[in-house]
Every structure is written in C-alpha cells, then in structure tokens.
Amino acid sequence: MSQRLDTAAAAAMLANADRIHILTHASPDGDTLGCGFALCRALRQLGKQAQVLCPDAVPAKFSYMLLPDQDFEPAFYCSVDVASPHLLGRYEPLAEKVVLAIDHHANRTDFGENLLLKDYGAAAMLIFELLQEMAVTIDADIAACLYTGLSTDTGCFKYTNTSPLTHRMAAQLMELGAPAGMINREMFDTKSRARLALEREALASMQFAFGDRCAVMALPLSVQQAVGADEGDMDGIAPLPRQIEGVWVGITLREKESGTYKVSVRTDEHIDAAAVCARLGGGGHARAAGCTVTASLTDATAQLLDAVVAVVPEIAL
C-alpha cells in the first residue's frame, strides 16, 4: 500500500531526488504529457537530471512540449497521471520501482511507494501546486504544459470535473504566458482531412440499443485505413456517441489491431462508466472509462451491452 503524501512532502521528496525518470501513461494524452514535461522542465531548472519516459510515440500536436533527451542512469522513478501499472504499457515492469506516484484518479490501482493524490479535474492541477511548493519559476513553457493538462482533461472546461479552482489556475497560467488560444486550437479545433472523413464514417456507423439510451460507434481498422487516419486523428472522437440527446451511455469501439478493440465508455449521471469497464478488466472515472476487448465486433458489442445492463438493469426497462 502506497504511503499518502501531501503536496509539501512530495515537493520535499523531489527536492532531495536527482536523476529522475518521469513515467507517463501509454496512448499519451495532454494531461499525462503536460504533467510529465512541466515536471521535467521544473526539475531541470533546479539543476537536476530529469527525463520523461512515454511508452508510446508522442502525437505531433503535442510537439511544443517536448524537450531534448538527457542520458543518465535513473535513481528515482516518478509516475504522473498513471492510474494502474498496466497503463504504463511497455514500461509496466518499472511500476515496482516508482517512488512517487502523482495522480488524480480516485479509484486507481495502487502502486508506487508514495502517492500524491487529489481528486482534481486534471493531474496538471496537482503539478501546478507542487511546482509552486518547490519554488520553481513557472515560465511560459511550463505554463503551456500545465494549461494543456487542465484544458484537455476537462474538455476545455466543459466537463463537470471543472471547478472554480480549475478556472482560476487557467487564468494564472494564461498570465504566466500559456498560449491558450494556440493550444486550444491545436487540441480542439484542428481536424485533418482524414479526421473529417473518419467522423463521417463514425457517424454513419452509429447504432442504438435499450430504446436509444445506449449509442455504439465502431471504428474498424478497415475504415481507419480507408480514410488514412492515424493515432492523432482518433483523439477526441470517443465522446461523440454520448453527446446524442437521450443517451445515457455512449460506447466507442476502436480496433487497435485485428480483433482487439480499445473501448471508450462515456456516461451521464445514470451510469458509472468505471463500473461498466471494470466488468471487462478496465477502469477510469465515473463519467469516462475504458477497457480493451479481444473479440469480433459483434461479440465485443454484446459483451459491452451485457456489462451495461449488469451495472444498470433499469436501462433495459
């Protein structure tokens, strides 16, 4: 069981550390990368050796956060926004070496010798507090990383995980030089031609169950290849089914490799998305969770509908 630390204790621990590897989760998003690179920049500013370890390639749209690599023998492992060892992907074996896990997922799988956890909308809010505690100078580059985390994990301040504190931190980060307009345009308002075609196909694939309370969208490999969509084009497509009027639960099945679907479940207040995904070996938040299912598209869909009805029997009434 991890030892819980407060922000000051975590700051003190990092102040005494050096040669630090910062682990992000696989299929990296703006929050895990924003946390990783903000912390890495801060640690380097303090004269330490630090390096972000991301299990997968960083999508091009996040390239403004990147730093030159530093080559050193790590003496301290820290994870940011990683809710479970298996989310470390190819770095999963490093989970047992993690001395400090920094996370905002309330129902995480415990790992890490020490844990800094607050139920914030974005893990980057925690890093912002941590860097202030460490007396780091938050320059425009660090502010850009942190703002990216805040903005992407809250759907640009749209989701219910946005608090007054999220807004106040966003205001501070803008004043510290975060180029909010550029970041949000990149994250939310830029679509490739391939993405456009992908959305058209995704909308056409939409099917409904339980009297239209459940919407299911499928993105088979064949469609992804036909429109020429890459990893980055997939980002932010998962929320679409849940946005339809009257839908309690929206499910997106995206074929990652032949016969294996990465599933995203988004819900309204009727259904706990994490509970649905837990039944299939996944997890996440109450309104947004995920799992991986290896099956035909028909079987995978059936397994998900079974999981939904097991969690909320009244959806089928």
Q: Which helix (H) or strand (E) holds 288?
A: strand 288-294
Nearer to its own copies, 131 or 143 (CB): 143
| Residue 48 near its own copies by CB under 8 A | no
Min dist CB 4 to its own copies, Å, is 28
* C-alpha span between 173 and 147 (Å, rounded): 6
CB burial string 66-96: b at 16+ within 10 A, e below: eeeeeeeebebbbbbbbbbbbbbbebbebbe
Residues 189-228 that bind its own copies (CB under 8 A): 189-193, 196, 199-200, 203-204, 206
Q: Are 72 and 8 in contact (CB under 8 A)?
A: no
Quick check: 135 binds its own copies (CB under 8 A)? no
In this structure, the strands spanning 288-294 and 260-267 are: antiparallel
The yes or no reply on residue 45 touching its own copies (CB under 8 A) is no
Three-state DSSP state, 230 = coil
157 forms part of the interface with its own copies (CB under 8 A):
yes
- CB nearer its own copies, residue 49 or residue 162: 162
316 binds its own copies (CB under 8 A): no
- Of the candidates 302, 258, 236, 290, the residue with the CA atom closest to the CA atom of residue 105: 290
Asked if 271 contacts 248 with a C-beta cutoff of 8 angstroms, the reply is yes
Output the smallest distance, CB 58 to its own copies, in A.
18
User: Taking CB under 8 A as the rule, does residue 162 contact its own copies?
Assistant: yes
Under rule CB under 8 A, how many of the chain's residues touch its own copies?
39
Residues 225-264 that bind its own copies (CB under 8 A): 239, 242-245
Footprint on this chain of its own copies (rule: CB under 8 A): 155-160, 162-165, 167-168, 170-172, 174-175, 180-181, 184-185, 188-193, 196, 199-200, 203-204, 206, 239, 242-245, 268
